[in-house]
Structure 1
Amino acid sequence: MKTKVALITGGYTGEAEVSLKSAAFVQSQMDTARYDVYPVHITVEDWYYLDAEGKTFTIDRSDFSFVQNGQKVTFDVAFIILHGTPGEDGRLQGYFDMIGLRYTSCNALTSALTMNKGYTKAVLTGVPEMYAAKSVLLFESQRAQAYGMVTDALKLPYFVKPNAGGSSIGMTKVKTIDALQEALDKAYDAEGTGQEVLVEEFVTGREFSQGIFRNAQGELVVLPATEVKTTREFFDFEAKYTPGLTEEITPADLTVEQQERAGRIIREIFVRLNCKGMVRVDFFLENGTDNFYFIEINTIPGQTAQSFIPQQVRAFGMKETAFYTELIEAALVNTD
């Protein structure tokens, strides 16, 4: 009998469009001999299963089931490909924990923590060989004082971004002080990000993104890194999703020593944050020092054919079908 997989997509933020594309690619790569895959859309208005003919079936939230042709359908596992809230911030994971449904991502606590960039950096303080840019975390109650708090503590240029959010939405690189207030307002007001802002001193260097996952045998597997070179000021939303603006090199041109050092750092991050499934770590290699600077961690990384993780899986010599099978099977044996 096939395993029934709920492929979770959609969401409550501007990342929903990316989530839908990611889920479509994942579904196209699933091992249909082993799994029955049901795309489940989660929106502010409704939760529903969308079948191949475009018919919708409302999800019963008491047990995450639906009725089709008079038969109740339940799931063995949820494959979460929902970027942003509620699929990446721990809300959906907490719900699944309460009803006893296994899932492919980090647990509720880790998901909530890692959506908060400032708190994540605090937890990762002391990871060997890892550096972090000097930063200021700003809450809504500090909005009136935010400008002064930043200028008192940090040196230009700055990266100003929502403390909780993805796809670089609401992010600005500030090179002159007269642009700071507008950048702060943009980050504070970014939809669905909690009105918290993280401001960091800019690190000059090469930018990389690298995936890691725990397979069904319980082993941590570090994927090859991707180097990101963009014609934009930084790797913003347009650079990420507009063809031609960014060059992505997988595997990245790193020395053996740099690869090994990055692998040690990423493994320690995965363990320190108690991650599950697949995650992606973004970092800078600073010019002049050769130090790796942590940027952020993404616990529901994009999964379109052009996304970093699928690129890295292919560079690793693995098929996406086998990769997604590993994630599902790891979730099914996970006893947490």
Structure 2
Amino acid sequence: MRKNIAIVMGGYSSEVNISLTSGNVVYTHLDKEKYNSFRVHILKEKWVALDDNNVEYPIDKNNFSFLFNGNVVVFDCVFNAIHGNPGENGRLLGYFDLIGLSYTSAPFYQMALTFNKRDTLSVVKEYGIKTAVSVYLNKGDDVHLDKIIAKVGLPCFIKPNNAGSSYGISKAHTKEDILPAIEKAYKEDSEILIESFLDGVEVSVGVIKYKGEVKVLPITEIVSENDFFDYEAKYQGKSQEITPARISLEEKSKVEAISKKIYTILNMSGFSRSEYILVNCEPYFLEMNTVPGLTEESILPQQAKAAGISLKELFGNAIESSLHKLKLS
């Protein structure tokens, strides 16, 4: 009997349209012979399931079901394709835990932790993982520019602590650049990070649970046409994403080992894609994305393809892993 799968997409953040695109790709590629798939839009103004004609059916939040052709549709599993709030930061997953519904991403706590860049960095540094030097600010804090520059240097990066898709990120080259960059970041989040610039090769590494094992996917090298890998570079073709990365065997071995270590120590499951800068052959961890882009052009699907894993297999494995985990709980 086919399982009912809700592909949740949308969300409450600036990444809503990117999430809708990812969710629709998942819907297209899920095995129709194994799953009854429904797109579910989780938006501030409504929670609705959509049929093939885009007719909307309100979701009953008591048990995450909906009425379809006179029948109540209850889901067996949720495929989490929401970038940002409330999918990637874990809030929606806490609700699913309460109603006993399985989902494809890591549990609530792991998602909340990894969405918070500062807290993730604090944890991994305890395990000897190299990171950039950083300063953390809350909105309303006094800003002492000279102290910030003395600690992180110039240029430096200013970024929202809880946001994705490079929204709100700036690279400050001068002291005068910092305050406008801080204001830009605060438009996305009330907490920000100011990090030192790392001069090296940027790589992105996907790690997934595949057929019950932690699997590191082929590494992607990021070459941005812009000053850094910003929104335009990510989504408007202003970068090269080279898989496999043009790095040495030693660098490849180190990045793979650290990526697997971080995935394990953070007790992750499901998808992850982490970013690193290679400086003098040493990987410096930047951040982890736990609901990465899932279009055909996105980095993690590119890496899966290089590993011989189709989108149908990639997405189906995530669902089967989730259903298996539910059986064991």
Decide: shared fold, TM above 0.5: yes
Identify the residue that residue 220 of structure 1 maps to in structure 2. Answer: 214
- Find the residue that maps to 2:130 and give its secondary structure: strand
* Distance in 1 of aligned mates of 2:182 and 2:130: 25
Q: Say whether the 8 Å CA contact 2:207–2:217 is kept in structure 1.
A: yes
| Corresponding residue to 1:254 among 232, 238, 247 | 247
Partners of 1:160 and 1:183 within 8 A in 2: yes
Instruction: Tell me the matched-pair count.
Output: 327
Residues 251 and 282 in structure 2, CA contact (< 8 A), matched pair in contact too: no
Aligned mates of 1:333, 1:137 — CA distance in 2: 40
Unpaired runs of 5+ residues, structure 2, are none
**Contact 1:127 / 1:265 at 8 angstroms: preserved in 2?**
no
Partner of 1:264: 257
Task: Return the offset for 1:153.
Answer: 2.5
Q: TM-score, normalised by structure 1?
A: 0.95
Corresponding residue number in structure 1 for 2:186: 188
Deviation of 1:274 (Å): 1.1
Q: Which amino acid aligns with 1:329?
A: E
> What is the CA distance between 1:148 and its match in structure 2?
5.2
Question: What letter matches 2:202 in structure 1?
Answer: E
Q: CA deviation at 1:106?
A: 1.1
Please tell me whether residue 166 in structure 1 is matched to residue 161 in structure 2.
no
SS at match of 1:285: strand
Work out whether 1:305 is the aligned partner of 2:296.
Answer: yes
3-state SS of 1:39 partner = strand
Instruction: Compute the displacement of 1:152 (Å).
Output: 4.4
Q: Aligned equivalents of 1:4 and 1:256: distance in 2? A: 44
The 1-side partners of 2:3 and 2:144 are apart by 51
Q: Secondary structure at the match of 1:112?
A: helix
Counterpart secondary structure, 1:131: coil
C-alpha RMSD of the superposition: 1.2
Show CA shifts across 1:72-103 (max 9, x none): 10100000000000010010110000000000
Amino acid at match of 2:289: N
Q: Which residue of 2 aligns with 1:200?
A: 195
Q: Distance in 1 between matches of 2:50 and 2:307?
A: 33
Distance (whole Å) between structure 2 residues aligned to residue 313 and residue 40 of structure 1: 25
**Bigger mean CA offset, 17-26 vs 164-173:** 17-26
Matches within 5 A, 1:24-63: 24-63=24-63
State the one-letter code of the partner of 1:221: K
How far is 1:318 from its partner?
1.5
Alignment partners' CA distance in 2, 1:21 and 1:34: 22
Cα distance in 2 for residues equivalent to 1:325 and 1:254: 31
Q: What's the secondary structure of 2:125's corresponding residue?
A: coil
Q: Are 1:278 and 2:271 an aligned pair?
A: yes
Alignment identity in percent?
39
1:142-192, Cα deviation, whole Å (9 max, x unpaired): 1x33545523422111100000000000000001011110001111122xx
What stretches of structure 1 of length at least 5 have no aligned partner? none
Match of 1:134 in 2: 133
Deviation at 1:36, TM superposition (A): 0.8
Cα separation, 2, equivalents of 1:111 and 1:310: 20
Letter in 1 for 2:204: S
Match status 1:233 vs 2:231: no
Secondary structure in structure 2 of the residue aligned to 1:208 = strand
Report deviation, 1:254: 2.2
The 8 Å contact of residues 138 and 146 in structure 1, kept in 2 or not, is answered as no
Deviation readout 1:89-145 (Å, 9 max, x if unpaired): 0101100000000000011111111111011000001435x3101001111241x33
